[in-house]
Amino acid sequence: MSTFAASHLSPSYPDRAAWGTAPKLRAWQQEAFDLYFRREPRDFLTVATPGAGKTTYALRIASELIANGVIRSITIVTPTEHLKRQWADAAARVGIGIDPEFKNSQGTTSRDYTGVAVTYAQVAMHPALHRARTEARKTLVIFDEIHHAGDAKSWGDGVREAFEPATRRLQLTGTPFRSDDNPIPFVAYEEDGEGLKRSVADYSYGYGPALDDGVVRPVIFLAYSGEMKWRTRAGDEIAATLGTPLTKDQLSQAWRAALDPKGDWIRQVMQAADRRLTEVRRGVPDAGGLVIATDHETARAYARHLRNITGEGATVVLSDDPGASKKIKEFAASPDRWLVAVRMVSEGVDIPRLCVGVYATSTSTPLFFAQAVGRFVRARKRGETASVFLPSVPTLMGLANEMEVERDHVLNKRPPEDGLDDSLLEQANRQKDNPDVLGDELPFETMETSATFDRVLFDGGEFGTGAEVGSAEEEDFLGLPGLLEPDQVATLLRKRQSDQQAARRKQAEEQPRETLAPHEQIAELRRELNGLVGAWNHRTGQPHGVIHSELRRSCGGPPIAQATAEQIQERIATIRRWATQRR
């Protein structure tokens, strides 16, 4: 192997090398690198979880190809302007000059550069120009987050026309799955036996293996429910509890009410997130937090909340701000606590010190969620944890419980279910000036909102039994150490859960037995069980009746209507045990 240029680059630029790996390539990077040069392919698709070190890996391959005379030029294609500069900075560290300011109007760039960084949109605007540049010299094209080439037919057609003559093409993505049928250029698809075509990666490295290797951080999700009250345009006042079974319209409005900066829910959740950040900083002194907002107006309002909470200003990054890249770079190198950004920062933004996040957007596509969480998983040393605060919304809870699921891009499939259409991702990441609803304003007026700690989700399990904001039970989870191995996280969460349950049993035992008549006790237990069944329905999608039947098979006894208090308590204990076990 050559020692040219990138051989001294850390395994995950910049300063993100996993414990025990520097200055060598991480095991997955070396394995993928070796596979690439054994095959010597024209096209190679690498799928690696966000934070795994795709930039380092790609630049090492580029350096080797240059050293061997296989290529003479490099074109890097990215989703955003900010990422062009990020790639140029990384390449400069290994002696590869990349022009991130190249414009279509220029036609050519300085001889000082080995190549250019451009966006998918830029290529689609003038594919003939980029084709001519590709044909002029033996070129390697690196596609950063290649799934974006399927965002629109014009983008895909432009990318295919521009780079069909490339000598080599290296496709990278952390989240290759989409729910539309737009084929991704230069990606291979194979029949799966069910009449569907699935994308085929040449090398895959998912979140689960990366977590086992210590390459990424374990992610603790802290879910918050609460009471929401709003007034419709017709003047009707509606109240709903986030985290309980709601109709589609009720859930949508309750969710948006929770995120409304005029209510208390988002302020209380940000207070909790800041307390968590303080705890994490005991072990990770430079840890930072990110609030992902829906639009510019709410981003500024959230920043004002954070100033009131912390006494410090928060960095606000807006999509139409020409200084956005500079602000992100300065925040990444600073000890400041909080960054508030519109959804555009969900993908590719490299701020390794981000350890705490607040998911304050109503976007719920699997692709966007994975990209957003990817901002927090980039491990710099062994033991760092990430914490993401989110509303108790079924779609988000399901995505949090499926962090380790690896998805392919599937063509010719049935229409997506509601809330799972990733074809809106490009729209979700572009500039947002207005609230994310139809029309120019919210279809209702938020009256009151309040937050309640719901539960913790980790590694497919759920922990906690609900608690008031500011209570000792909530603090048990907010106070988890910021430096923990994944198995230590699970052990501590089980201990916190056990302590909560023991305290509640003791409290119940200390209450006078005559406080509830037998029929009242059974009614109370049935309500508790039905609430847990509803939560399990949100998590698994199983109908309520099926869940009740499974509990009856597991525990024995008659149907719920004839069950004794003791039998209902056994079923409650059983479904709580299910929730703490990884599916």
Domain boundary, last residue among 184, 205, 226? 205
Is 213:18 a contact under the CB 8 Å cutoff? Answer: yes
CB environment 86-124: b (16+ within 10 A), e (fewer): bbbbbbebbebbbbbebeeeeeebeeebbbbbbbbbbbb
Asked if residue 492 is part of any domain, the answer here is no
Q: Note the helical H segments in 170-236.
A: 207-212
In the prediction, which pLDDT does 263 show? 94
Q: Quickly list DSSP for 202-217.
A: SEEE-HHHHHHTTSB-
For residue 148, the model assigns a pLDDT of 82
**Is the residue at 530 inside a domain?**
yes
Predicted pLDDT of residue 528: 79
Taking Cα atoms as reference points, which of 88, 157, 86, 97 lies closest to residue 121? 157
For position 176, which CATH number holds? 3.40.50.10810
The answer to whether position 564 is within a domain reads yes
- Interatomic CA distance for residues 74 and 97, integer angstroms: 9
Of 205, 220, 255, the residue at which a domain comes to its end is 205
Note the residue count of the chain.
Answer: 583
- Please give the pLDDT value at position 388: 96
Domain holding 563, by residue range, is 521-581
pLDDT at site 65: 96
| Residue 468 maps to a domain | no
| Residue 241 belongs to a domain | no
Q: Assign 201 to helix, strand or coil.
A: coil
The answer to the question of residue 277 being in a domain is no
- 0.85 cut: is pTM over it? no
Q: Positive or negative, the Cα torsion across 318, 321, 325, 326? A: negative
Is residue 461 assigned to a domain?
Answer: no
User: What distances in angstroms separate CA 165 from CA 61, 128, 161, 477, one per listed residue?
Assistant: 19, 12, 8, 55
Spatial separation of the C-alpha atoms in residues 182 and 456, rounded to whole Å: 36
Q: How many domains does the chain have?
A: 2
pLDDT for the residue 344? 53
List Cβ neighbours of 30 (8 Å cut-off, separation of 6 or more).
24
The answer to whether the beta carbons of residues 376 and 218 sit under 8 Å apart is no
User: 194-226 in b/e burial notation, b at 16+ Cβ within 10 A?
Assistant: eeebbbebbbbbbbebbbebbbbbbbbbbbbbb
Torsion angles phi and psi, residue 12, rounded to 5:
-150, 85
Domain termination site, one of 181, 205, 229: 205
Mean pLDDT by 10 residues, the chain (583 residues): 43 40 74 96 92 92 96 94 90 94 92 95 95 96 88 80 96 71 80 73 88 87 94 86 85 93 96 96 95 92 96 86 82 94 64 94 83 86 92 89 56 42 40 38 79 88 83 89 83 80 66 65 81 74 82 87 87 82 55
How many CA atoms lie within 13 Å of 500's alpha carbon, on the beta-carbon side?
A: 23
Asked whether residue 534 is assigned to any structural domain, the reply reads yes
pLDDT of residue 416: 41
Q: What is the 3-class SS of 117-163, one letter each residue?
A: EEEHHHHHHCHHHHHHHHHHCCEEEEEECHHHHHCCHHHHHHHHHHH
DSSP label at residue 343: G
